[in-house]
Structure 1
């Protein structure tokens, strides 16, 4: 691996960790808080692309599995992967992979297209996977879980707008360009 690639992955992993250290906002009617970490996942896929973005998220998830308290609320350990947020965490791993490939294939450097890709994958995909995980871990029906995660859509949409604005600003920055 090139030094630039290692540095990019390490820095994005650090951003993911920092966003995870920001306490979540509890909702009350579901066991999941509103968090900022998914903004970092969106940025990983958009800025670093599928390979490097997925590697950064994978690095975070390995550290979490090893017990590092890098999820909101200071959570960590293998148990979080089978709890209510398990679906979200697994979707975090797929999000940069799908988003990076989609932006590479469909993006025509128009902000609206980039927003659609980032929103569909970073908001819809992650929340549907989160609802599936919530269904498995709590036993609630899928439709009830899907309805309950709708509360995240407005905030996640704002995060996706932020991700698009950051991506558009940094898209051609030499720091993020790479030949891998």
Structure 2
């Protein structure tokens, strides 16, 4: 196996471990929708930002596969295939595609972006994509109006903006370490 393949495999496994650890931090229930505030979505943003589209998506896919087979790696200790049919299913589906979007945008434009441009990219391809996709599923699954589902997601925005800022800051610092080969 080539050294580069081992590096990518290791980085992917480490990001999956970070996602699992973030899932151990209890969520904050909102009460008016069955979706809590969690830190794992910050890890999803970081996966695309740090690892790029291929390894970032692989890392999140590995987490979701482990959850699907029953490992309790989601916030609150939930796991099993049923979580994908519940109110958070749309958010989980969006998690799979967010690193692909974030990583692709960063790969294509990222080296020329300022901190604020990179932050805006995370907000659009991470925060808004995940929240809108989650709202669509939540509306369908919970039989609530789409406008109500979208409006309920406004409660996530302040925290998600902070998480996006942390994701950008961490990724920029890690990219400064030449031995990590993060581009």
Length-normalised TM-score, structure 1: 0.96
* 1:168 is the counterpart of 2:166: no
Does the CA-based 8 Å contact 1:9-1:52 persist in structure 2? Answer: yes
1:178 Cα shift?
Answer: 5.7
**Residue 109 of structure 1: how far off its partner (Å):** 3.8
Distance 2:145 2:47 in 1: 31
- Aligned match of 1:151 in 140, 143, 155? 155
* Greater mean deviation of Cα atoms: 87-96 or 116-125: 116-125
Runs of 4 or more off by more than 4 Å in structure 1? Answer: none
Question: What is aligned with 1:44?
Answer: 47
Query: How far did 1:62 drift?
Result: 0.1
**Aligned-partner Cα distance in 2 for 1:173–1:127:** 32
Give me the CA root mean square deviation: 1.3
Number of aligned positions between the proteins: 179
Matched with 1:105 is 108
For residues 84 and 32 of structure 1, the distance between their equivalents in structure 2, rounded to whole angstroms, comes to: 7
- In structure 2, stretches of 5+ residues that fail to align are none
User: Which of 15, 21, 29 is residue 26 of structure 1 equivalent to?
Assistant: 29
CA–CA separation in structure 2 for the residues paired with 1:130 and 1:74: 20
Scaled by the length of structure 2, what TM-score is found? 0.94
Distance 2:179 2:9 in 1: 12
Aligned equivalents of 1:178 and 1:29: distance in 2? 40
Of residues 32-41 and 102-111 in structure 1, the stretch that sits farther from structure 2 once superposed is: 102-111
Partner of 1:129: 133
Deviations 1:48-82 (A, max 9, x none): 00000000000000000000000011100001001
Structure 1 gap ranges (5+): none
**Residues 144-166 of structure 1: CA deviation (Å, up to 9, x unaligned):** 10001110000000000111111
Three-state SS of the structure 2 residue aligned to 1:134 is: helix
Local SS of the residue matching 1:49: helix
